[in-house]
Amino acid sequence: MELTVLVDNNTHAGNCLLSEHGLSFLIEDCDLKLLFDCGSSDAFIKNAYKMQIDLAPVTDIVLSHSHIDHIGGFLRLQSLYQKFKYVGIDFNSKNVIAHPEVFKQGEKNILDNESYHLTAEEMDKFFNLILTTKPRQITQKLIYLGEIPVPRDVKMDYAPDETALAYKSQDGLVVISGCSHSGIENIIEHAKYVTNENRINTVIGGLYLINRSEEEINQLGEYLRNQNVQRIFPCHCTDLEAKIILSKYVKIEDVCTGQRYSWE
């Protein structure tokens, strides 16, 4: 599997790519080309163009949850595909895989982002919607985890429509998260249950560690160390203090827009 960061909070100086408070990954496994989230805007599309990545062959789009920094660019992607169709560019039909509540209308955001106009009825006219709370096999090794079970006393900004991905590499699971509102510990435990694999090789994605207490972060660090997690790639919604504290427990890798990673 190869994962390319199409957009994230950070970018390297000199690579001429856009960063934003948002997340979008391109995941390639065998013949699959999958988009995991669409960022806050069309920045991921512009970055893909600069990196000479063709989004026409994308087969699947997974939306981790309904917050605008993950689905804000979804209508821009639909618009791109409609332009492809108009000018005669061939492209395959595309699945959208997500929790059934991902299009549920929430409170109006101060940015009035166009993602709040997304409806399942409108999306179903252009995409093949697969809305499910259950885990789903995408490829032989890549699994959509479905709804993430959480303890009733969860204190974080819980998103009930949140999901994640897990890849069964030869060295253990690669857990791919959007924001981890459900708690990365809960996501990892659910991934282990769904895949029947207890080895955790890598965690990459948002960890929702902004302005969290040192005690909470230390508890997470101890959990990750006890799980023998080999590497953490904390990107979206993870602040510097959290990365520094976690580095005492597990190897932390820097993540920036445009980077590529691979696992066998």
Higher pLDDT, 128 or 92: 128
Res 70 pLDDT > 50: yes
> With 0-12 CB in 10 A as exposed, 13-18 as middle and 19+ as buried, what is 83?
exposed
Looking at residue 128, which CATH number applies to its domain?
3.60.15.10
Condensed to tens digits (0 to 9), the pLDDT of residues 138-194 reads 999 999 999 999 876 665 567 889 999 999 999 999 999 999 999 999 999 999 999
pLDDT tens string 82-121: 898 888 888 888 999 999 988 876 544 434 455 556 777 7
What total of structural domains would you count in the chain? 1
Percent of the chain with pLDDT over 70: 92
Q: Which domain holds residue 120?
A: 2-262
Distance, in Å, from the CA atom of 122 to the CA atom of 56, rounded to the nearest integer, reads 20
This model's pTM is above 0.75: yes
Looking at residue 91, its pLDDT comes to 81
Q: In angstroms, rounded to a whole number, what is the distance separating the alpha carbons of residues 35 and 48?
A: 11
Cα separation, 68 vs 106, in Å, equals 11
